[in-house]
A = this chain, B = another copy of it.
Amino acid sequence: MKMIFAIVQDKDSSRLSAKFVDNNIQATKLSTTGGFLKSGNTTFIIGIADERVNEVLEIIKATSHKREQFMTPPVSLDNTVGGESTYPIEVQVGGATVFVLPVEQFHRF
Contacts and interface: CB of A to CB of B under 8 A. Distances in A.
Contacts of A101: 3, 101-104
Interface in A23-39: 26-36
A2 B107 CA distance: 15
A75 to B, nearest CB: 33
Given A28-B36, A31-B31, A104 B100 contact: yes
A93 interface: no
A60 to B, nearest CB: 6
20 contacts: A1-B99, A27-B36, A29-B32, A29-B34, A30-B30, A30-B32, A30-B43, A32-B45, A35-B45, A36-B47, A47-B99, A60-B109, A61-B109, A64-B109, A95-B108, A95-B109, A98-B109, A99-B103, A100-B104, A100-B105
Given A30-B31, A30-B32, 10 more contacts: A3-B5, A3-B99, A7-B45, A17-B34, A20-B35, A35-B44, A64-B109, A65-B109, A96-B108, A99-B106
